[in-house]
Amino acid sequence: MHTKDFLAQELEHAGLPELAERGRQGLYHDFLSPLDFPDADLAKAGQSGGGVVDAAPQREFDASKEESEE
């Protein structure tokens, strides 16, 4: 599973459907996002997101080696 989809799935499970949709679009992905700091934007957007949003800066949802090579 692509890490953007894994993040989106976890955001959906956390009850954050709007953030999940942005995640599916790659907005919070290391290489797909047009944002300079996708993790910071996710944290700011989902301050009420609890564990999922808190895990993003911890590198839990970082792009895989394969994704970086794409």
pLDDT digits (tens, 9 = 90+) for 38-55: 877 777 776 655 556 555
Q: Residue 12 contacts by C-beta under 8 Å, 6 or more apart in sequence?
A: 20
What distance in Å separates the CA atoms of residue 11 and residue 57, rounded to the nearest whole number?
14
Arithmetic mean of pLDDT over the chain? 78
Q: What is the pLDDT of residue 39?
A: 78
The amino acid that residue 1 corresponds to is: M
Per-residue pLDDT, averaged over 24-29, amounts to 91
Q: What is the pLDDT of residue 16?
A: 86
**23 vs 47: which has the higher pLDDT:** 23
What is the pTM for the complete model shown? 0.69
Q: What is the pLDDT of residue 34?
A: 92
How large is the C-alpha radius of gyration of the chain?
11
Q: Structural domain tally of the chain?
A: 1
Domain limits for position 41: 3-69
